[in-house]
C-alpha cells in the first residue's frame, strides 16, 4: 500500500510520519517463563493535528493454522517527538502497567528504552524494556526485549506488519 504524507501533519511529527496508518501482521512471543507462540497484531497510529501520535495496538494468540485463539495484549499510548530526533512513547496496559520509553528516531528507525515503569499492586513484575521499530521494505518490523519476573533483559517479542490503511 502506498503511503502519502498528510498535508496537515505538524512539522514536529515528520520523523514519525512513516508510522501513521493501520498495520496488520504476525509475530513470535517467548520468554523463559512462558511457552513460545505465534501472535497476530493490529496497530493503528493516528494524529489529530497536534504534535503527537496516538497509538493503539491489539494482539491475539494464533494456533498452528494461524487462526485467532484468544486476545493477548492491548496497548494505548502516545508518541511525542522532540528536538534532535529524541522521542517518547507513553504506553498504558489494562494489566496495570504504565511505561515511559525514551529514545531516538532516525529515518525509518526508532530505538527506545524504558525511562520509567509504574505497576499497580496487582500487576505482574515488570522492570524494564527496550523496543526497536523499523520500516523495512515498506513493512513495520519491531522487536522488544524485557526484564520481568526475576529474569534479566532479554528477547520477548518480535513482529512484521504490513500497512493496510
Annotated binding site for heme b: 33, 124, 156
Which residues define the annotated binding site?
33, 124, 156
Q: Which of 20, 5, 19 is nearest to 108 (CA)?
A: 19
* DSSP three-state, residue 158: strand
Kindly give, in sequence order, each residue whose CB lies less than 8 Å from that of residue 26, ignoring residues fewer than 6 positions away: 38, 39, 40, 41, 62, 66, 159, 160
Phi-psi group of 98: left, alpha or beta (phi > 0 → left; psi -120 to 50 → alpha; rest → beta): beta
Q: Which of 154, 115, 163 is nearest to 36 (CA)?
A: 154
Beta strands in the chain (DSSP E): 21-31, 34-46, 53-62, 68-81, 86-93, 97-106, 109-119, 126-136, 139-148, 154-163
Place of cell 489494562: 94
Amino acid at each position: 500500500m502506498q503511503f502519502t504524507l498528510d498535508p496537515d501533519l505538524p512539522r514536529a511529527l515528520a520523523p514519525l510520519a512513516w508510522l501513521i496508518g493501520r498495520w496488520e501482521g504476525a509475530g513470535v512471543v517467548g520468554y523463559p517463563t512462558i511457552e513460545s507462540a505465534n501472535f497476530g497484531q493490529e496497530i493503528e497510529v493516528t494524529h489529530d493535528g497536534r504534535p503527537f501520535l496516538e497509538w493503539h495496538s491489539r494482539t491475539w494468540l494464533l494456533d498452528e493454522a494461524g487462526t485467532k485463539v484468544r486476545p493477548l495484549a492491548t496497548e494505548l499510548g502516545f508518541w511525542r517527538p522532540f528536538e534532535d530526533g529524541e522521542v517518547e512513547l507513553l504506553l498504558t496496559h489494562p494489566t496495570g502497567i504504565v511505561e515511559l520509553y525514551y529514545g531516538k528516531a532516525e529515518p525509518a528507525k526508532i530505538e527506545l528504552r524504558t525511562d520509567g515503569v509504574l505497576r499497580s499492586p496487582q500487576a505482574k513484575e515488570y522492570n524494564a524494556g527496550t523496543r526497536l521499530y523499523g520500516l523495512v521494505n515498506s513493512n513495520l518490523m519491531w522487536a522488544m526485549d524485557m526484564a520481568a519476573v526475576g529474569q534479566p533483559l532479554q528477547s520477548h517479542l518480535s513482529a512484521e506488519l504490513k500497512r493496510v490503511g
